[in-house]
Structure 1
Amino acid sequence: MKTIKNMLAFAALLITTQLYAQTDKETTIKIINAQHYVFNASSAMPMANADVNRVMSRMPGGNGSGMIQLTGSQYQLVVTKDSIEAYLPYYGRAYTASMNPDDSGIKFKSKDFKYKADKKKKGSWVITITPKDAKDTQSMVLNVSQNGYATLSVNSNNRQPISFNGYLTEPKEKKK
């Protein structure tokens, strides 16, 4: 029964996400090839475990599915040719606790990283980012559809993996 609820929640998310498409096929291809884009997170999905589900079921409107809506937030991953900047929340189990409260979430800037973009059948992309100078993040895998919808999976050294659903956009030009 819980599996059916999770599948229905995921289907509803996909349907609502498609209503808010931010890029078309040409723009998606252009920004991925230029390696200059922003992934905007709209929901987070921590690894399913009893602790997270218990907390989620106690939240207002929570159904224990493990999906956390991030609407109205500015959580994102900014990718350029020479840097990666992550500002994402983290929900789940950490194996090693940080003594600094500012270290919560997935927050880092990296100038030393490995980037690999593979185009798949039907126009989708699988992008693997491996930061070498981020202390906790081992790898990030971004699965992108033709229309810019994406799922970001983050694997860490000291935390359970977490995934984010969202979409790609072109970065806004900074005002001078």
Structure 2
Amino acid sequence: MKTIKSILVLATLLFAMQVNAQTDKETTIKIINNQNYVFNASSALPMSSYEVSKVLSRMPGGGGGGTIQLSGSQYQLIVTKDSVESYLPYYGRAYTATIGVNPDESGIKFKSKKFTYKADKKKKGSWLITMNFKDTKDVQSMTLNVSENGYATLNVNSNNRQPITFNGYMSEPKEKKQK
């Protein structure tokens, strides 16, 4: 009986996620072709290790590792033709200490103007986007897998940290208000 309830709850959640898709197929194609979009992170999946699992098990709702929900947050990756801005958290193991860094500046936060960008269209309408950075301190590359309805997975590889993965959705950038 417990299994049936679990399956029903999972099916309901998946259906709700599909109904609430953030972009339609045409919008996803347009924003990727224009290289002007926002990746909105909804969950983080740190690389599993003993240390990370130990810390996560002490967090409210933590089960000793796995997925960290980022709901209610404004964690984003903003991509335009001439820049990439990252405002993402980091959970995982760092191989070098960042002494004297303001805790508000920790995470995966940077602005890059020197980067390579490659977007490949895959089967069934999905996209594989690869970005390599030349002017960031820590982040080497990011790979974004985007479905045709706007759901995406972002993989971040750093020089001094374990890799981390984010799940989320794509959206058009909001217009900046002119005063």
The reply to whether TM is greater than 0.5 is: yes
Spell out, residue by residue over 1:41-99, the C-alpha distance to the aligned partner (whole angstroms, 9 max, x if none). Answer: 00000001111112222222222242110000000000000000000000000001112
The residue type equivalent to 2:127 in the other structure is W
Deviation at 1:131, TM superposition (A): 1.2
Please give the residue correspondences for 1:2-151 in structure 2 after superposition, counting only pairs within 5 Å: 15=14, 17-99=17-99, 100-101=101-102, 102-151=104-153
Contact 2:114 2:133 in 1 (8 A): yes
RMSD: 1.7
CA separation of 1:127 and 1:174: change in aligned 2, threshold 3 A: same
Give structure 2 stretches of 5+ with no counterpart. Answer: 1-6
The residue type equivalent to 1:52 in the other structure is V
The residue type equivalent to 1:145 in the other structure is S
Q: Secondary structure at the match of 1:56?
A: helix
The residue type equivalent to 1:70 in the other structure is L
Q: Secondary structure at the match of 2:124?
A: helix
Spell out, residue by residue over 1:131-174, the C-alpha distance to the aligned partner (whole angstroms, 9 max, x if none). Answer: 11011000000000000000000000000000000000000010
Q: Which residue of 1 aligns with 2:4?
A: none
Contact 2:41 2:169 in 1 (8 A): yes
Deviation at 1:20, TM superposition (A): 2.9
Larger radius of gyration: 2
1:168 aligns with 2:176: no
State TM-score, norm by structure 1: 0.89
Deviation at 1:111, TM superposition (A): 0.6
Give structure 1 stretches of 5+ with no counterpart. Answer: 1-7
Identity percentage over the alignment?
73
CA separation of 1:114 and 1:73: change in aligned 2, threshold 3 A: same
State TM-score, norm by structure 2: 0.88
CA separation of 1:108 and 1:119: change in aligned 2, threshold 3 A: same
Deviation at 1:18, TM superposition (A): 3.1
